[in-house]
Amino acid sequence: MQRRIAVAAVLVTMALAACGSPSEPSANGTIPVPTPAPAVTPTAAPTPTFAEPSSSPTPTPVQPTASPAKPKPPSGKPISCTGKVTQTKPAASGTGPGGSLVKTGTPAVALTFDDGPDPINTPKILDALQQCGVKATFCVVGFRARDNPGLIARIAAEGHTLCNHSWQHLFDLAKRDDAYIRKDLENTNKMILRAAPPGARVAYFRAPGGNFTTKLVKIASDLGMKSIYWHVDPRDWESAKFGKGTAMVNHIIAAVERDVRPGSIVLSHDNGKPDTIVAYRTLLPWLKARFTLIALPDTPTPPSPAPATPLP
């Protein structure tokens, strides 16, 4: 009997050794039977999925590059500037302050636009002038010429005349000392010519507010510029008196039609004056039918010949 027990113990020990995880006997001396580990079912590696390519892939549409649109006039409608009307008004006359000019010296009328260039309004008046085949004179401010060189280039390229209107439109410019005035006008010319096409000139000067003095006219002349005042001033800047919108537009039209004469220099403003642009869509056909409209000539005036020295 004891021999059978011994054999059984040996068999149990061998079985435990075969499992590779021997267990300690319990407190009562019995040897626990190990719980077999659960069978692990191997998990198959996931099969990767791929998006099937379309048999005819749809290409991403490429937007064609549009050609730059031609600038349109403010109303989107072209101006008609045809026909001729005979006028019998007397010629412009007079002289501006400090000896500045108020007339062209011929029957032709010169339209002038001050205080620009304005990135919104200047292109609109240029479009209107182009449609009517009219050239004008632009009296530009130095720092605005610096900030809008493309408009200076366009003004010159389209055959309009460039005019110096000082660096920053100081109404008391004439009261400054000579060195200050000269530097102001020189810097303005430099900025205008930097933006203009090669060969462009600045042949005219207009004092801010028209505040000319003989000293200011002399300094401008020393720099090769004639000083221009005006014969017609519709006061398109005086909105406190004449209103805005339709009221101002009607006022500008009436004032120019009433006051213009053969040889007049007409003052207007493009910078910040949208009503002026609208008014000129009516004025340009009216003026062109009655007058020759010119840009002030930008060729230098030849010096006066020296008096002949009498022969001994």
CATH architecture of the domain 97-294 equals: Alpha-Beta Barrel (3.20)
Percent of the chain with pLDDT over 70: 71
More confident residue, 39 or 152: 152
Contact between 165 and 210 (Cβ < 8 Å): no
At residue 223, φ and ψ (nearest 5 deg) are -90, 10
Q: What residue type is assigned to position 89 of the chain?
A: K
pLDDT at residue 277, rounded to an integer: 98
Q: Would you list the DSSP string of 92-153?
A: P----GGG-B-B-SSS-EEEEEES---TTHHHHHHHHHHHHT---EEEE-HHHHHH-HHHHH
Q: What average pLDDT does the segment 26-40 reach?
A: 42
More confident residue, 84 or 50: 84
Residue 101 has pLDDT above 80, yes or no: yes
Q: What average pLDDT does the segment 52-59 reach?
A: 34
More confident residue, 51 or 209: 209
Q: What average pLDDT does the segment 211-235 reach?
A: 98
Residue 136 has pLDDT above 80, yes or no: yes
Q: What angle do CA 210, 212, 216 make, to 5 degrees?
A: 135
What positions carry a catalytic annotation?
Answer: 114, 269
**Alpha-carbon span 125 to 137, nearest angstrom:** 12
pLDDT band at 38 (very low <50, low <70, confident <90, very high): very low
Residue 156 has pLDDT above 90, yes or no: yes
pLDDT at residue 87, rounded to an integer: 84
**Tens-digit pLDDT profile for residues 174-207:** 999 999 999 999 999 999 999 999 999 999 999 9
More confident residue, 243 or 21: 243
Residue 34 has pLDDT above 90, yes or no: no
Q: What average pLDDT does the segment 56-68 reach?
A: 36
Between β-strands 202-205 and 226-227, what pairing exists: parallel, antiparallel or unpaired? Answer: parallel
Q: What residue type is assigned to position 14 of the chain?
A: M
pLDDT at residue 144, rounded to an integer: 98
Contact between 265 and 291 (Cβ < 8 Å): no
The residue extents of the domains of the chain are 97-294
**Alpha-carbon span 147 to 192, nearest angstrom:** 10
Percent of the chain with pLDDT over 90: 68
pLDDT at residue 229, rounded to an integer: 98
Give 172-206 as a 3 state SS string.
CHHHCCHHHHHHHHHHHHHHHHHHCCCCCCEEEEC
pLDDT band at 300 (very low <50, low <70, confident <90, very high): low
pLDDT at residue 48, rounded to an integer: 36
pLDDT band at 4 (very low <50, low <70, confident <90, very high): low
Q: What angle do CA 72, 295, 254 make, to 5 degrees?
A: 70
pLDDT at residue 230, rounded to an integer: 98
At residue 114, φ and ψ (nearest 5 deg) are -105, 160
Q: What average pLDDT does the segment 43-50 reach?
A: 37
pLDDT band at 40 (very low <50, low <70, confident <90, very high): very low
Residue 267 has pLDDT above 50, yes or no: yes
Nearest to 142 by CA among 206, 211, 238, 218: 206
Contact between 257 and 286 (Cβ < 8 Å): yes
How high is the mean pLDDT of the chain?
A: 81
Contact between 79 and 284 (Cβ < 8 Å): yes
